[in-house]
Amino acid sequence: MKFDHNNISPLDNRYLSKIEDIRSIFSEYSLLKTRFLIEINWLLYLCQKYPNYFSKLSNQSKNKIIKFRDSFDDKSVLEIKKIEKVTNHDVKAVEYYIKNFFKKDKVLNKYIHLIHFGLTSEDINSLSYAIMINDGLKVYEKDLKNLNTNLKKLSSKWSNIPLLSRTHGQAASPTTIGKEIKVFQTRINREIKKLNSTVPLAKFSGAVGNYHAFDIAEGRINWITFTNKFIKTFNVVQNPVTTQIEPHDWIAELLQTMTRTNNICIDMSQDMWIYISNEIFKLKLNKNEVGSSTMPHKVNPIDFENAEGNFGISNSLNDYFINKLPRSRLQRDLSDSTVLRNIGMSFGYTKIGITSLQNGLQKIAPNKEFILNELDNNWEVLTEAVQTIMRYEGIDDAYEQLKNLSRGKKLDKSSYKNFVNSLDISDKSKEKLLSLTPAKYIGLAKKV
């Protein structure tokens, strides 16, 4: 891909190399090529499935058409865009481009009437975007699975490292780093399952969705079944009941799942930022990087910040798509057309977010010394354990006793042990509490 400094979107310059797979799916080139492919395949499908109703196609003519279809390139795009300047209609420009090619051949000239037969432009666009979004979804799922594989490894690697929890920003019952990573991995995995259940939908039913043109031309064909089988060749399912446009509900559902997943990743990015800020994680140094233009000592969590920002942009776009796309005046208006052209941007910003999050995770390492010191400075977190044992042994005011001892106060090892020794509880329970330390009070975090 050529780097153009004049492009307005960072997706097309700064982040160009990071989203080449997404760009190749959602580019203008890809949209035109997909429309072109559908138009050609529809003509072939008609002639091959119903040669008695439509014109029979010889192997020689079929091969000419396939060769033409497979030769689509940048020159093809320029020709189509040139035609579009005259027609002011992008789908019609593709139709005329094919027509111009057929005109040059005496045999193919006889099949011109079957180009775009029975269709409205939305049939082509609906299927085109379903194909493209489905391809984008595959890349997105792959990236998420790679992220989750990394999270699973880190969760296992750090499963035994205790960590002081923070609820409401205050010291709370300890956990482990591995378990906290596992929370995000599990949440993302749940969303991946939802993505797997996505069914791309398109319509191929003519002007207002009633198969008018098909039926009036040849009533002996079951056009609903026939068009559905054609659409399935692209791994897309026909929505048989629509207006002129497929209502885009499935796209909204997909983007809602993407937004939830982005929010999970934002949540993780912000947590990692706070952990780094609080010295729970150290950032690995890269001697060639610059943290600040004026403060040489700085090593900043820029990858997590970059991830947060790009996931946020994707969510903002998704929010508009989700609210706009399922609404269309009566049988159709054209406002969805210009909106759909931007849907690849959401996939692009999400991919940058995932890439940045992955980079950030590769640069952090637990600051074990600090973590253990922080735990040792917060013995008051064991009051939950003490009051639970007291309750278990039948002491009614266990919570109140611990509240008076610890609320708003700092406990150390000595004051904790003195309090435990003063309790009227069994020797077994007392021994259990005396052997406890903040670093050991992690519940079932390792099993979780």
CA distance 173 to 436: 13
CA distance 369 to 339: 52
Reported as a single tens digit per residue, the pLDDT across 249-294 is 999 999 999 999 999 999 999 999 999 999 999 998 665 565 544 4
Asked if residue 8 has pLDDT above 90, the reply is no
Arithmetic mean of pLDDT, 208-228: 95
Arithmetic mean of pLDDT, 323-343: 94
pLDDT of residue 419: 87
Reported as a single tens digit per residue, the pLDDT across 383-402 is 889 889 988 988 888 778 87
Reported as a single tens digit per residue, the pLDDT across 158-208 is 999 999 999 999 999 999 999 999 999 999 999 999 999 999 999 999 999
Q: Which residues are catalytic?
A: 168, 292
Arithmetic mean of pLDDT, 232-252: 96
Arithmetic mean of pLDDT, 226-237: 97
N residues, the chain: 448
- For strands 201-202 and 237-238, give the pairing: parallel
pLDDT of residue 47: 96
Average pLDDT, the chain: 93
Asked whether 53 and 138 are in contact (CB, 8 A), the reply is no
Asked whether 64 and 109 are in contact (CB, 8 A), the reply is no
Domains delineated in the chain: 21-117 (1.10.275.10), 122-199+243-372 (1.20.200.10), 378-434 (1.10.40.30)
pLDDT of residue 298: 46
Reported as a single tens digit per residue, the pLDDT across 337-391 is 999 999 999 999 999 999 999 999 999 999 999 999 999 999 999 988 988 998 8
Q: Which two tokens stand for residue 125?
A: 């666009």
Q: Residues 6 or more apart from 19 whose CB is under 8 A from it? A: 11, 348, 351, 352
Q: Sign of dihedral through CA atoms 382, 388, 392, 398?
A: positive
pLDDT of residue 77: 97
pLDDT of residue 295: 43
- Burial of 121 per CB tally in 10 Å (0-12, 13-18, 19+): middle
Closest CA to 61 of 40, 85, 83, 89: 40
